[in-house]
Amino acid sequence: MSRCWLTGASSGIGAALARCLLEQGHQLALGSRNAQALEHLAAAYPGQVLLTTGDVSETHQVAAMVEQIELAWGALDLVILNAGTCEYLEPGQFDSALVERVLHTNLMGVCHCLQAALPLLRRGQRPQLVVMGSSVSWLALPRAGAYGASKAAVRYLIESLRIDLSREGIAVTLVSPGFVDTPLTRRNDFPMPQLWTAERAAHYIIVRLPRRPLEITFPTLFTLVLRLLGALPARWRLLLGQRLARG
């Protein structure tokens, strides 16, 4: 069984992924800012769980988490970078501090984790890196400038890094979900078509990871429509966005 580090493990997709991986018998380092939320898993799966507490947006905290993993296991076979956040830009109220917060967690958080974890992945067996992106990176949506920009940057970063890491035998998988029922999405004030439960999303991801795919997307119809709409001419995408904003 693999040695895995999972960030953002205390809620949503991360919590569901943690349960799936533990049920499969993997050794799992659970990363979260709230260690207390994960203690029940450590108690339920004795000997399998390593609790690593810290904020992925803080370099020194990430380094401390990975140092704890290195002391315990010496290497990692699977890294799942799932931690993230979402805030929306309201029309007429552009907020650069909001954009910075979202980018700091969603983009720089991934970068901090990559810098710390890649040396351990290089020592692992059939190493695989999995990063949580978003289907929003295919199509610009109203109010989603900060979140969408962060996930578009993650997509480019991971697709570029995949080229470099392929020479080292490290598989890189980008996960691009649609709407999933999590504490973050429950704050949304707009319709969320084809909403999946976190448990369904986690199972869908876990079943596909052994194939080491380049990308995992779901739901199929929703993500296909977004990709097709994202390929429309810019003027048409603007008209679509304006219509969604009015709705």
> Which positions are annotated as active-site residues?
147
Which amino acid, residue 10? S
* CA-closest candidate to residue 8, choices 59, 83, 61: 83
Cα separation, 132 vs 173, in Å, equals 9
Beta bridge partners of 132: 175
The tokens describing 156, both together, are 């480019």
Report the C-alpha gap between 34 and 8 in whole angstroms: 9
Single-letter residue type at 3: R
In 3D space, the residue among 35, 27, 38 whose CA is nearest the CA of residue 3 turns out to be 27
Residue 107 and residue 154 in contact, taking contact as beta carbons nearer than 8 Å? yes
Long-range contacts of 242-245 (CB under 8 A, 24+ apart): 244/141, 244/142, 245/91, 245/142, 245/143
- Structure-token pair, residue 136: 């929003």
How far, in Å, CA of 177 to CA of 92, rounded?
29
